Structure 1
Amino acid sequence: MLTHRPAEERDLATICRFPQSEDELFFMFPKASYPLTPEQLRDAIAQRSDATVVELDGEAVAFADCYRREPGGPLFIGNAIVSPAARGRGVGRYLIETMIELAFSRHGAAEVHVSCFNGNAAGLLLYARLGFRPYAEEERQDRSGNRVALIHMQRIRIKERESR
């Protein structure tokens, strides 16, 4: 059974083990250095809101948080990642649906945004299935200096569906 709760200090070491490679960490948290450390994660959480952990049978298996690029601007879901052991089991969907609900109910957001690198096919497909649509691309560089595209996506709140 999946549940969610605010992230706690005791979760940080567990979350830091989720990214299995430098690429996975880049998709999750591009500014971090591999391997992810509790200090890096703690600093990111301190600058964001709604740090959330998903639990499967009482074990932390996913994490995400929210941020705004500018005061009063759209709310973004960021730093989303699922434990390798829990992938392919609906945990990512539950995580993102939970974060969408937080954005709409707690923050009164009219829309929610995500940004996803072009190499993260699983993330792009998940976001599309959950109703996110691309609206912009931004050229970036990966850790090796290769050109990559950061695809910005948004989901507009549909009053009837989102106000349950």
Structure 2
Amino acid sequence: MHLSHRPVQPNDIPAICCFPQGPDELFYMFPKATYPLTPAQLTDAIAQRNGSTVVEGGGMVLAFANFYKAEHGGVCALGNVVVAPAARGHGVASYLVNAMVELARKQFAAREVWVSCFNHNTAGLLLYPQMGFVPFGIEARQAPDGKRVALVQMRQILG
């Protein structure tokens, strides 16, 4: 499938809201949101962030991400990363992360791209190191059920 990416449009938002399949997946994507993800919650997040991007393939929106921190010449921190359930396991997440790294490089002249991944998010923990991200920290966080979880922080130094 041919993939492309572009800035998010308001009419993409209802589809993106359907991507997280349950409270756990929403927590991985957007820890401050309440399940189910609503267009209002996502629109609010987009308004406070930079570089909100979608991946398209076969005429459908397949993935979404943005930067919750974007310092020109500094760090871009990747957030709200999510892939449509039907598109998982087909290289869409890799395409999205590569597109966001290029955006950080070109639009923000970033020196580093950071991503954080919860310890239960096996797909993310396996994907990011494969793409050149190296763990540099772990923070204790609280899951919606009150249990302690680990947030693994990773970075890629841009050359």
TM-score scaled to structure 2, two decimals?
A: 0.96
What amino acid sits opposite 1:154 in the alignment?
R
Asked if 1:56 corresponds to 2:57, the answer is: yes
The equivalent of 1:12 in structure 2 is: 13
For 2:71 and 2:32, the matched residues in 1 are separated by 18
| Superposition pairs of residues 64-143 of structure 1, within 5 angstroms | 64-68=65-69, 74-143=75-144
Provide the aligned C-alpha RMSD in A: 1.4
* 1:65-112, Cα deviation, whole Å (9 max, x unpaired): 012188875210100000000000000000000000000111100110
- Aligned length in residues: 158
Local SS of the residue matching 2:24: helix
What amino acid sits opposite 2:107 in the alignment?
R
Asked if 1:29 corresponds to 2:34, the answer is: no
Local SS of the residue matching 1:106: helix
Q: List alignment gaps of at least 5 residues for structure 1.
A: 159-164
For 2:85 and 2:135, the matched residues in 1 are separated by 26
The equivalent of 2:39 in structure 1 is: 38
What amino acid sits opposite 2:68 in the alignment?
Y
For 1:46 and 1:77, the matched residues in 2 are separated by 15
Structure-2 change in CA distance of 1:31 and 1:94 (3 Å):
same
Structure-2 change in CA distance of 1:31 and 1:72 (3 Å):
farther
Structure-2 change in CA distance of 1:5 and 1:69 (3 Å):
closer
What amino acid sits opposite 2:139 in the alignment?
E
Question: Per-residue deviation at 1:52?
Answer: 0.3
Q: Which runs of at least 4 in structure 1 moved beyond 3 Å after TM superposition?
A: 69-73
For 1:140 and 1:74, the matched residues in 2 are separated by 22
For 2:96 and 2:21, the matched residues in 1 are separated by 19
Q: List alignment gaps of at least 5 residues for structure 2.
A: none
Local SS of the residue matching 2:54: strand
What amino acid sits opposite 2:144 in the alignment?
R
The equivalent of 2:156 in structure 1 is: 155
